[in-house]
Homo-oligomer: A and B are copies of this chain.
């Protein structure tokens, strides 16, 4: 039995009996271990920051959990089929969770593997940019998927993920976020989350896909860039990061499974409804070109459709979007 599995079981037991005492006998019975062994794991959890009260004749009670994104804590009560079920790799600090997940993918780890970190020293954004990843408030998480799609379906995967995160934010914090095509999530016009999709591919097959998510949860304003905000700032209350991570993984799996069964088409209207750029005049800057006009649609491949001033329709697959006024 893996140590993380035992910890996960104990945490799950405490969470199912919130505020209640559980006898040592019940704990060891639930785990199928001796009481001495249960005691050992209780102490390991205490070492990792869990405040566990012990009262003779009553047993144990969880008083507080540490503010850490431990894999076993997120896995406790995680209601998914695949995502996060096999492995959640946890790092206090790593260079980039996407790079870690990419390595794991190369080494054959299965779909649904998750990498999560408290901070990234080289967090990555789109087109080689940095993603600021301060410690103490964010969730930096990468998810390995092996969807068997073609490369032109990748923009749609990013949009599906963004929609899932918007839902998780609504469920967990009650906040209304919107999607800034192609890969950002905004609240009140400020960036709260970014997504970086990376793939290994042959011309007609994606070997695997890494969905990287950086989200400012409890991050104080002093640690954010000027154009950024955090869920805590927007909701004026501290967010349980593990609960949010769990909810994001659940929503991501829902959206992913649905898109695999029914295609992006089944989620397209939802993505359009969450979009902050549709109906606005925008300028999209890609590598070699800039397209300016009215953002009129997101098509069946996830491309943004722009009606330029000569009434022509242009498709753009990615790029920086700036809202402009005439």
A127–B205 alpha-carbon span in the complex (Å): 6
A190 at the interface (CB under 8 A from B): no
Which B residues touch A287, using CB under 8 A?
148, 150, 204-205
Minimal beta-carbon separation of A199 from chain B (angstroms): 5
Contact with B along A289-326 (1 / 0, CB 8 A): 00000000000000000000000000001110000000
A203 touches B317 (CB 8 A): yes
A128 touches B205 (CB 8 A): yes
A126 touches B204 (CB 8 A): yes
Contact A318:B199 (CB < 8 A) given known A152-B152, A287-B150: no
For A201, give its contact among B106, B158, B199, B204 (CB under 8 Å): B199
Residue of B nearest to A200 (CB): B200
A48–B107 alpha-carbon span in the complex (Å): 34
A143 at the interface (CB under 8 A from B): no
Minimal beta-carbon separation of A94 from chain B (angstroms): 16
A198 at the interface (CB under 8 A from B): yes
Which B residues touch A200, using CB under 8 A?
198-200
For A202, give its contact among B150, B198, B204, B205 (CB under 8 Å): B198
Minimal beta-carbon separation of A105 from chain B (angstroms): 11
A18–B164 alpha-carbon span in the complex (Å): 68
